[in-house]
Amino acid sequence: MTTITRAVRANPPLAIGTLILACVLALTVLAPFLAPYGVAEQSILDRFQRPGVKHLLGTDQYGRDLLTRTLFGGRTALLLGLGAVALGLLLGVPIGLASGYAGGRTDEAVMRVVDAFLSFPALLMALMIVTALGASTAHALLAIGVASAPGIARIVRSQTLAVKHEEFVLAARAQGDSHAYIMFGEILPNLLPPIVIEASIRVGFAILASASLSFLGLGVQPPTADWGLMIREARQHIFLSPWPLLCPGLALALTIVGFNLFGDGVRDRLAGRA
């Protein structure tokens, strides 16, 4: 049996998820070389073409090539998804870590505030932030990152509570290490598996949320290629030509399936070890 079939057998979600993500990543990174047309290249005479020899996936309402725009749309999606989760980790991990480590009243107060933020549906939170700042790609990233921080803080805090009475933490304290060093140098490395699981599951959600914002006109602005925005623009014309909806829709669904499978696979793998 080859290594590949063995990997698939051992953890099918991880293997299939990795495969999908590898394809998505390769296609988006190589987009400038693979794309047959320019991203913003319009050809009014070729509006609403069906898939064919000239345009493999057809064209949209401005005659722009759908294959090209779907490829480049992947760049926006990955940038927003990964960027937002990175921001969420940057905010959520220190908050959760410090709150759990401090314990007592401080922990109680911080967690109440986190609960209040968590009691906002995430998309509503993102909508509120985007409203306050104005609609743009950067603000969408910021909004989704901030909206995901409370959830991350909660997970990190509960994991910190589980670890902070372990002997290695007591030893570091007895040795006189600073609180900052104990938190980030001793406790944080032990929290990496749950953090990795949480992050990999959240990327799919962040991509979905950013596409939703763009679909509502509150995220990525035209003429940037973005799947949510492409679907927004396809909306008026779906009965004329379904392709401007189906191409980005399928790409979006496939990418999110990839991240969800990958996240579940990573969880099974890491949980199995712990």
134 binds other proteins (CB under 8 A): yes
Q: Which stretch binds other proteins (CB under 8 A): 95-103, 128-136, 178-186, 190-198?
A: 128-136
**For 211, phi and psi rounded to 5 degrees?**
-65, -40
- Helices and strands, counts by H and E, the chain: 12, 0
Residue with Cβ nearer other proteins (96 or 258): 258
Out of 123, 161, 163, 270, point to the residue binding other proteins (CB under 8 A). Answer: 123
Cα three-residue angle 221-227-230, rounded to 5 degrees: 65
105 binds other proteins (CB under 8 A): no
Pull the structure tokens for residue 202.
């959240």
The footprint of other proteins on this chain (CB under 8 A) covers a number of residues equal to: 40
Q: How many Å apart are CA 207 and CA 67, to the nearest integer?
A: 20
238 binds other proteins (CB under 8 A): yes
- CA separation (Å) from 41 to 23, 62, 83, 213, 233? 25, 9, 28, 25, 16
Nearest approach, Cβ of residue 207 and other proteins (Å): 9
113 binds other proteins (CB under 8 A): yes
**Residues near other proteins, by CB under 8 A:** 112-113, 115-117, 119-124, 127-129, 131-132, 134, 204, 208, 211-212, 215-216, 218, 228, 231, 234-235, 238-239, 242, 245-246, 249, 252-253, 256-257, 260-261
